[in-house]
A and B are shown apart, each in its own frame.
Chain A
């Protein structure tokens, strides 16, 4: 058996000829608008179609997703995602929160990668107010964001094993996540809802104990990561479940506005960290893994390779952390001048953008939270027809959706 990691190759630059897309070649199919009951007994082979309501309480839908599916035996005929079971109005509540208090709401949007969400909002505010962020703050942002990214990918990796029928990886992933959450808690004071990145910098410097914990983590995690990959990617059953399932070709990926690892698994090397550098990413050395296949296995391998790159970046950040202030001097109550700004970060799920409109008061006029997982869910939904029910679960799981972010 060939080494599954061989399918990963370093990304070419965006301007490369094969990175270009023919304009408007993708014609969408008719999306499922409603479900129909097929006539029974038309011929001897026809079976009655069954309409099954999967969710919102279902262990495999990664949150409170509800999918209506029409089944012919084990075959999916149509599928329609129904969301909104976690709609909490982050965009509306932002209009009554002060700029420095918005981190609390952003954290709870995509609750697995809080640091990245806060950073998107902080970057948008800094653009509006023209705040210069100290170099150390930028490095701390990158460091914590990468630690958070590893933790987030681990919580995708564990349930991915559960979806394909393996319990063990979940427990291993949780073991490693605890170590990462310890580090994040040491620095930010919370395990999940950090509110760490504020406009102007970060709220706390790295502690000596956290630094020690990161070094211990780096010593052990390289080996653990190889084990993680080996346990699933080296498993024949897992490969059979993932390879060739749920293929998203390049046109479909671009047409459905995928981003992040889902897009890179379809052969488009777009990464906000490289193409729109923020924080300290322009000074860090990292590769963007890209796979061509676009199937579930490619998405798995790209995410695993991303963890490896994140570990590399954490190493660079902790070794090269510059001296200086960890936050710029900003007023207590932020009042950006009237204007509009769009800032995006590469969250573990893709391009997480914040479109911020200020009217000069101390609360935003309108904040738009661009949810990458919502676009990933659309493509998952469009892939369902024609697959087996069990493969449908794998397809939805492999796109790494978080319902807190889809519904907001």
Chain B
């Protein structure tokens, strides 16, 4: 289930990504990398002996200070999972990793749209779910409708 923390750290260091790898209780092994090194780190993990070839999911988290983009990887051959978190500043650029994991195509568009990031290096950097003029809905600063507003619809 859980990959070896030291091995993971060695792989990321060898690729030149300055990552902090730690084991978070309940969740598992989490690697924190800077936003600009996310692609390098993912490529290193994919091509390493651990073989993280399967991207389970890609999504964002609004932590209050920045957007954490989470890449959830799985190794089918060794049956291990790892989470890679890359911290992006608000309104910054999300560099696409769809050439590393083709599955990132839609989730990246969704993440960029709902958290107000700009996509770079993406084959189709359009909006995915909403129409023009809708604010980045999953940010904590965007409020949902109040009960008052719903009642006086």
CB atoms of A and B under 8 A apart anywhere in the complex? yes
Residues of A within 8 A of B (CB): 14-15, 19-21, 23-24, 26, 28, 30-34, 80, 83-84, 87, 89, 91-93, 96, 127-128, 254-257, 268, 270, 275, 339-342, 351, 353, 355, 357, 366, 368, 370, 374-375, 377-378, 382, 407
Q: Which residues of A contact B127 (CB under 8 A)?
A: 84
Q: Which residue of A lies closest to B48 (CB)?
A: A23
Tally A-B pairs: CB < 8 A.
Answer: 112
Contact A255 B27 (CB under 8 A): no
Whether A368 pairs with B57 at a CB distance below 8 angstroms is: yes
Contact A92 B144 (CB under 8 A): yes
Contact B101 A341 (CB under 8 A): no
Chain B: interface size category? 35 or more
Closest CB pairs A-B (n = 4): A84-B129, A257-B103, A28-B102, A87-B129
Asked if B150 lies at the interface with its beta carbon under 8 angstroms from chain A, I say: no
Verify B55–A257 contact, CB threshold 8 A.
Answer: yes
Residues in A whose Cβ lies below 8 Å from that of B77? 14, 19-21
Instruction: Return the contact of A31 from the options B24, B46, B107, B123 (Cβ within 8 A).
Output: B123
User: Is B92 at the interface (CB under 8 A from chain A)?
Assistant: no
Contact present for A83 and B144 (CB under 8 Å): no
**In whole angstroms, what is the CA distance A368 to B62 when docked?**
12
A33 contact set on B, CB distance < 8 A = 123-124
Complex Cα–Cα for A184 and B118 (A)? 45
Point out residues on B near A: beta carbons under 8 Å. 24-28, 46-48, 51, 53-57, 59, 61-62, 70, 72, 76-77, 79, 98-99, 101-103, 105-107, 123-124, 127-130, 137-138, 144
The answer to whether A257 and B46 touch across the interface, beta carbons within 8 angstroms, is no
Residues of A within 8 Å of B79, CB to CB, are 14-15, 275
- What chain B residues lie within 8 Å of A368 (beta carbons)? 57, 59, 61, 70
When distances are taken between beta carbons in the complex, the residues of chain B under 8 Å from A21 are 51, 53, 76-77
B76 touches which of A14, A83, A355, A366 (Cβ 8 Å): A14
Q: Which residues of B contact A91 (CB under 8 A)?
A: 138
Contact indicator A370/B102 (Cβ below 8 Å): no
Whether B59 contacts A31 by the Cβ 8 Å rule is no
